[in-house]
Amino acid sequence: MTAPDPQEAALVAAAAEVRGAARCPYSGFAVGCALRDRSGRIWTGANVENASYTLGLCAERVAIFYALTHGADAIESIAVVTGADRPAAPCGACRQILFEFAADADLLLVTTGGAELRTRVRDLVPFAFDASFLAPREP
């Protein structure tokens, strides 16, 4: 058995810690997300709900927007921690945002009970919509 990767363990720990800051009075579903950029910096975010449900933000988008607006380098790995019975994948909106800014990142989905699922962001969004569709086209 191989020893756990210390960088991965730190990323999961950061996601688990920020999960404690989630504001989820309506769903009770706290989510923490941590991203590691190419420079080794860790950026975090937790979900924030609002009484007008559609105005809330998921942890993944909070983390990526914070990272991008504070100087993050290319995102290489992402950990998402929930209290679900099985690893919970990002919602569709988060998948699109993560694809736009971190398509090649490794993604580790973890539960507080220790279950985990490993994948890549790119694998969550087959046939993804990206900037290539926005190139000028003739009518």
The residues carrying an active-site annotation are: 60
Name the token pair of 51: 């009484």
User: In angstroms, rounded to a whole number, what is the distance separating the alpha carbons of residues 71 and 51?
Assistant: 31
CB 92 within 8 A of CB 127: no
DSSP 57: B
- Helix pair 92-102, 59-69: axis angle to 10 deg: 30
Only one residue has tokens 């279950």, namely 115
